Structure 1
Amino acid sequence: MPVDTPASVPLTFSPWEMFLGAGPVVRAVMILLALASIATWTIFIAKSIELRRLRTRLVAADILLDDAASLDGAEDLTRNCRVAHTLVLAAEDERTRSHDIPEDGEGLKERIVLHLERIEASEARRLMRGTGLLATIGATAPFVGLFGTVWGIMTSFTGIAATKATSLAVVAPGIAEALLATALGLVAAIPAVVIYNHLARQCAACREGVADLTASVMRLVSRDLGRLRPTLSRAQVIPFASREQRIPAE
């Protein structure tokens, strides 16, 4: 019965076998890249669900604000949308604080706009939360994989020098295990870059929706101030007319 020699035994180069055969440093690099890939897809799923729900609520809130007759009525209509409700409450709060400053419609508009811009900027930062990790993975994962490859090849050549064996069968497994780290680096980096760009576009669309809500709120504020101007004008004209009536005719 013939006995298989080491050269005749088929070598297995499956990713799992190469992972098990890699050194501790290369194996740690592979585990780190696998965790980075899992984090990338987790962020993608979570942010996609969050942004899709937010866009739906922003569109619905914008329609409700278009139908609102005044800022007071918009408060009840926007309770299902956190962003729209926050914008409406901020405008009402500033209007309440400015009640002792009569005939200052333009100043009130400016103060409300400043307040809403701060809320809008805060919402933009919240939308991009978590995407910074994607940018980091996309930028560093190839270099981390390259580090694992270089370290694995160094280890392979060190083993060759120690054993004084120059056969390709001896060199190939170590080099293949090292190159697997580079492949994992690309597997982690490429989806991270693509997903980051996709989520950035989705966040930009949501920011445009928030800007539309801000414009709708300011339109309601302007409409309410326009309704107050005739009242203020009559309050100023009537006392003046009564004083003229008291002047005796010559």
Structure 2
Amino acid sequence: MQDAIHGPDLSPVGLILQAGPVVQGVMAVLALASVVCWAVAIEKAILLRRLKREVAALSHMEASHTGEGLAARLHRAAAREWSEGREQGESRGEYRERIERAMRDLLGGALRGMQGGVPILATTGAVAPFVGLFGTVWGIMGSFQGIAKMQDTSLAVVAPGIAEALLATAIGLVAAIPAVIAYNRITLRFGRLRQEALSAIATVGARLSARPPRASRAAE
């Protein structure tokens, strides 16, 4: 509500309360998207720290085969292929590739599962500014309609409508900018950890293929 003495309330809260239903809806959608993006970013930050520890354990051959972590599951997958030994006519290179492929398949599935929710960051970063712009255009249209009805173009009449309209764009940018930054950082870290994991898998494959199981050596 506008105060006759102090004029319209141009604070962010006041502008939100004075905005029309469409602009308020746009602001609500953008605020919800921002909350979801922050939740995804925090969850992925925690997950990436855990993934970094798993990759380090895999690289240093420290994973226990009885655990439930990614490194332990990768070692178990490699151990299953290793325990089968080299097949008849299979070269050492093919034997190593079979061990590594079992680990890579498991790693790929695990990483795809871990990246769930990341596309929300990209979508929000790309769409939120345009959603905010829609709210701005709609709000300015409402301001012009108000000017036409009141036949008054004074700043006191125009300012509140334009300010609340521009606030929608500001909220869109507030939602989009952190989402884009988080998306870029998360995808970059996932890519680096994936490369480190693949390097560790190659090391494990080379080590295991160099010493086939006893049954396989006896067959040779």
TM-score of the aligned structures, taking structure 2 as reference length: 0.87
> Following TM superposition, by how much is the alpha carbon of 1:227 offset from its aligned partner in structure 2, in angstroms?
7.2
Within a 5 Å distance, the mapping from 1:100-119 to structure 2 comes to 101-106=87-92, 107-119=94-106
Cα distance between partner residues in 2 of 1:84 and 1:38:
32
Specify every segment of 5 or more residues in structure 2 that has no aligned partner in the other structure, as ranges.
Answer: none
Distance 1:230 1:180, change over 3 A: closer
Identify the residue that residue 225 of structure 1 maps to in structure 2: 212
What are the superposed Cα offsets for residues 196-222 of structure 1, whole Å, 9 maximum, x if unpaired? 111112212221232133123202321
> Following TM superposition, by how much is the alpha carbon of 1:231 offset from its aligned partner in structure 2, in angstroms?
4.2
CA contact (8 A) 1:57 1:81 kept: no
Distance 1:119 1:201, change over 3 A: same
> Following TM superposition, by how much is the alpha carbon of 1:97 offset from its aligned partner in structure 2, in angstroms?
5.2
Distance 1:227 1:94, change over 3 A: closer
Moved more, 105-114 or 148-157: 105-114
What are the superposed Cα offsets for residues 14-44 of structure 1, whole Å, 9 maximum, x if unpaired? 1000000000000000011111111121111
Identity within the alignment, %: 43
Matched, 1:63 2:50: no
Matched, 1:133 2:120: yes
CA contact (8 A) 2:121 2:183 kept: yes
Moved more, 20-29 or 198-207: 198-207
Distance 1:114 1:53, change over 3 A: closer
Amino acid at match of 1:117: R
> Following TM superposition, by how much is the alpha carbon of 1:10 offset from its aligned partner in structure 2, in angstroms?
3.5
Which secondary structure state, in structure 1, belongs to the residue aligned with residue 7 of structure 2? coil
Superposed CA RMSD: 2.5
Identify the residue that residue 237 of structure 1 maps to in structure 2: none
Within a 5 Å distance, the mapping from 1:201-212 to structure 2 comes to 201-212=188-199
Q: 1:40 aligns with which of 23, 37, 41?
A: 37
Identify the residue that residue 247 of structure 1 maps to in structure 2: none
Within a 5 Å distance, the mapping from 1:1-250 to structure 2 comes to 6=4, 8-64=5-61, 77-80=64-67, 82-96=69-83, 101-106=87-92, 107-225=94-212, 231-232=218-219
> Following TM superposition, by how much is the alpha carbon of 1:96 offset from its aligned partner in structure 2, in angstroms?
4.8
Cα distance between partner residues in 2 of 1:204 and 1:179:
38
CA contact (8 A) 1:137 1:188 kept: yes
> Following TM superposition, by how much is the alpha carbon of 1:228 offset from its aligned partner in structure 2, in angstroms?
7.0
> Following TM superposition, by how much is the alpha carbon of 1:171 offset from its aligned partner in structure 2, in angstroms?
1.1
Q: How many aligned residue pairs are there?
A: 217
What are the superposed Cα offsets for residues 89-114 of structure 1, whole Å, 9 maximum, x if unpaired? 22233345567x33524333333333
Distance 1:132 1:45, change over 3 A: same
> Following TM superposition, by how much is the alpha carbon of 1:224 offset from its aligned partner in structure 2, in angstroms?
1.7
CA contact (8 A) 1:58 1:81 kept: no
Which secondary structure state, in structure 1, belongs to the residue aligned with residue 212 of structure 2? helix
Amino acid at match of 1:173: P
Distance 1:91 1:199, change over 3 A: same
Specify every segment of 5 or more residues in structure 1 that has no aligned partner in the other structure, as ranges.
Answer: 66-73, 234-250
